Every structure is written in structure tokens, then in C-alpha cells.
Structure 1
């Protein structure tokens, strides 16, 4: 008999891994540029996923490859750079809370673009969530005048891309194995990532001699191996042994982990921002709450 509590263990592990990703991005930026970080993260993750999932590519039908390319760009490639760019200006804890908009944007885009019906409660949850977002950004800009909170737009844009990707997978890639989707995504984005890396100063002596270069590489390897590759496997397993609704509850715990890391790293976070974060999470909860 399977242990009914194992899903909670997976949920906790996934929350810690993904919640720690934002501070790892911040630390990686100490010795690397945002473009180098995004490129290296994509390349390392791609190597891992293609190593384990290459054989799965052979069973994917030709009609699915168009959607795999779009999914790879929106779900992995562009956000890897956008999150890194955002954290050059705004704190990792704020970034993690804004990332919680993914479920809200999934519902919003599902209704507006993919014609997936939404309930009144879901619409109410979306409204509450976006009020919290506006409050979080405005108060963050007030609390940290040296930071450019326009960079929050990179995170919000990424959540829209993640949301679009979820809807694409649900509608067009439902019958494709998760590992095949992940490996198929990276077939097309590893090469562009390598080209971007070649056009940076990553291979110059000045960059290699940077005092934080080695530590940044270590952080990005941890981010790629655990925060992306292994986390994907754990998430797929969690969905299999529980339900999508239960698996999506990782969204509620991730910001808590990221906030703890941010505070430990000296980031400032006001009481009003805390209320804004609660508003966002309440909105996510209402939008994803199952009917009773």
C-alpha cells in the first residue's frame, strides 16, 4: 500500500527547491550578466533533459513539433532571461511573489484566448490578485527608491508566457509524455542559448577573473540541476500521485521560502508589502479552489 503522505513530502521538497531558485538567480548575478545566466541555465538544463529524454523524442508526431517549439520559447527560453534581467533591479522575494500570478494569468488567458470558461469566483480571485500586485509594486518602489520597479514588467510578462504555455500544453500537447515535452522544448532552445552566450564576454579573461565568477557558476549549476531539471521530474510525479489542484498549491509555499531567503540576505520587506503578498495568494486560492 502506498504511503498517502508521500505527496506532502514531494510538495514540501518542490516548494523548497523552487522557492530557493530566486535567491540562486540573485547570487548567480554577482559574477555573471543576466544574459549569461539565462543562457547557461538553458544549456545545462537542456543537456540534462536531452540526456534522459532523447529517446522520447522519437515517438512525438510531426503535428506536435510546432507547439513544442512555441512551448519551449514561452515556457523556458524567454523567462530564463526575463527573470534574470528583473533581478538586476528588484529583490528576489518580490520576484517570487509576482511569480505567483501564473495561476491567475492561466485562468485569464484560458478564458480570453483559449475560450475556457471561468467561474465568478475565479474572476474575483483574479481581480484580488492583481490589486495585490499593483500594491506590491507601488510600495516596493516607495520602499526601495534605488531600484527600478519597471523591471517587474519582465516578471509579469514571464507569468503571462508561463500561463500561455500551460494552456498550450493542456490543449495541444495533452497526449505527449511530460519528459518528451521537456526534452522537445530544449531541442530548439539550447542552440539559441549557446549563440547568445558566445556574443557575451563570458569567455573573456576579464570575466573569468571576476572574483564572483566561480561561485556564480556553482549557483547556476545548482539552479539548473535542482531548480529546473529535477524539479520538473518531481512536479510531474506529484501530479501523477495527487491532483493538478493539489500540485498547484506549491504556488502558496514558494513565496514563503523565497521571502525567508530574501530577508536572510538583507532584503527589505514592509508590512504593506506583506499584505499585498497575502492578497495575491488569496486571489490564487480563490481562482484555483475546487467546487464543493
Structure 2
């Protein structure tokens, strides 16, 4: 079933780019729901529901597709990936959303390729090309433009703290990418996604029990919609489709396509949440996008 799906995507570019556009729109829109969910429950409670439902959905897909469970030797590595990619990233991001606008948060988190490039040079022994150096420099300028602009304008200390938390989350995501390449890459993509999300959801639940036990939760049609949309669509199905996509296209194309996520995040946040974009934020976003794009440039191979 999966094989036929992969063949169809490889043969039809329209289907491929439709899938890429669909998941980046969903991920961009999810930032609005993540921000709005804080009106109904704590950030950690929401993350527990979201990734709990996402993990269950993926595990059902593992069973339905008859993929099988990973070996026990892989569980410790999946636990590390789940801790870095799901637990730490979204615990920090959801807490930071209490202070930082959704659009700006999406831009800062998707500086992740910058940190991945730095770490890959050290731990995966990838060469630092002039393009990568230039890209990293531009990306850093973008982050400094956003943070520096807020500091210069006397932004509330809570906002600055939240922005730093999101940058730490982006670094954690970058570390998880490198760790995945070193220890988990041999597993089936859906296996790795399902079990890292399961372990990450367990860690989030433990933190939630300690930090938000007894806090009020409002369940209604809106809050349940937020949980189901981000859990089933934005977490489980989109990550599955994403891993299918990177199985049939080169990693450069795949990475560049993720730049659409903060773009949609900014647009949706501006439309639904009436968030405004400062000049320093726009400049920072442009620098980060160009930085990541330039870093992906490769020299043509000599024949």
C-alpha cells in the first residue's frame, strides 16, 4: 500500500507539491490553534492531549499497515529522539506562547535548519562549504534582528524570555535531527515517528502532572477541535506524509519547503489573531529564509 503511494507521488509532481503545500498550510495554521488553546487549558495539558492522541493515531497506523514494532535495542534511541523532538520542543514552545505571538514563534522555531547545519558539521562530519557559512551568518543576523529589535524597543522581559525558550527548542530539534541520523535512521519512518512521539507524549504527561495538576480545563466544541486538529492532522498524519515526501525527493527540496510553514504561520496569525509584524521581525524573517536557502546550495558534481 505504502509502496504504491510512493510510486504515485514519484510519477506525479502535482500530487507531490499538493501534499507539500497541504502539510505546510496545516502546520502554519496549527500555530494559531496552539496559541488559542491557552484560553481553555494550560500549555502542558494541551500538549499532553495533542501528542497523546497523535501517538495513538500513529500506533494504529503501524498496526494497520503491518509495519511491526521496532526492536528493543532501538527503544532507548527513540526515547532520546522523543525527548528532544517532541517533549522538549513543544513543552518550551507551548510555554513560550504565553508571552510570544504565534507568528513570531513559528519564525524562531523554524531557525532549526541553522542549528542542524552547525551540529551536523561537528557530529556527522559534514563539510562547512562557503554557502553554509554564508547561510549560517545570514540566519544568525535574522535571529539577532528579531531579538535585538525587541530588546531595543524595550519589549517586555517575558517576551524576550519566551523568544529565548523557542530558540532553545529549535536547537533541541536540531540535536534530535543529528541523533536520528546517527542512531534511528535504519528504522521504518512510521515506526520512528510513532514511537518517538509516544515516548515524548509520556514525558510531557509526567511534566504536566507535576506542573499543572488541578488547573482548570475547559472542554467544549472549540477546545476539542483544537486538540483533534493538532493531534490527528498536524501531528500524526502530517508527520507521516512528511516522511513519505522525504523518501521520494531530495533533502534540499524537502528542507526548503519547510520555509513555507513560518510564512503561513505569520499570515494566519495576522488574519485570525490580529498580530502585527514589526519591521525588525520582517527583516529577521527575510534573513532567516535566505540564510537557510543559501546554506542548502550545493556545488554541481564534476562529471
TM-score (norm 2): 0.87
Residue of structure 2 aligned with 1:149, choices 160, 166, 179: 160
Q: Is 1:128 paired with 2:134?
A: no
Contact preservation (8 Å) 1:100, 1:284 = no
Q: Is 1:43 paired with 2:69?
A: no
Contact preservation (8 Å) 1:39, 1:196 = no
Deviation at 1:223, TM superposition (A): 0.9
Q: Which residue of 2 aligns with 1:110?
A: 120
Residue of structure 2 aligned with 1:191, choices 172, 196, 202: 202
Measured in 2, the distance between the counterparts of 1:214 and 1:143 equals 39
Deviation at 1:73, TM superposition (A): 0.6
Q: Which residue of 2 aligns with 1:253?
A: 260
Distance 1:142 1:227, change over 3 A: farther
Measured in 2, the distance between the counterparts of 1:276 and 1:52 equals 39
Number of equivalences: 287
For the residue of structure 2 that corresponds to 1:112, the secondary structure is: helix
Contact preservation (8 Å) 1:41, 1:80 = no
Q: Which residue of 2 aligns with 1:31?
A: 40
Contact preservation (8 Å) 1:19, 1:256 = yes
The answer to which of 70-79 and 110-119 deviates more is: 110-119
Residue of structure 1 aligned with 2:89, choices 50, 66, 79: 79
Deviation at 1:198, TM superposition (A): 3.9
Unmatched segments (≥5 aa) in structure 2 = 1-7
Contact preservation (8 Å) 2:193, 2:240 = no
Q: Which residue of 2 aligns with 1:274?
A: 282
Deviation at 1:141, TM superposition (A): 4.7
Contact preservation (8 Å) 1:32, 1:213 = no
Deviation at 1:70, TM superposition (A): 0.5
Measured in 2, the distance between the counterparts of 1:291 and 1:14 equals 29
Residue of structure 2 aligned with 1:220, choices 214, 227, 234: 227
Q: Which residue of 2 aligns with 1:5?
A: 14
Measured in 1, the distance between the counterparts of 2:230 and 2:152 equals 31
Residue of structure 1 aligned with 2:71, choices 42, 48, 61: 61
Deviation at 1:203, TM superposition (A): 6.2
RMSD over equivalenced CA pairs, Å: 2.2
Q: C-alpha deviations, 1:62-90, integer Å up to 9, x for none?
A: 43222111111101112121110111101
Contact preservation (8 Å) 1:37, 1:81 = no
Contact preservation (8 Å) 1:42, 1:77 = no
Unmatched segments (≥5 aa) in structure 1 = none
Distance 1:56 1:73, change over 3 A: farther
Measured in 2, the distance between the counterparts of 1:28 and 1:291 equals 45
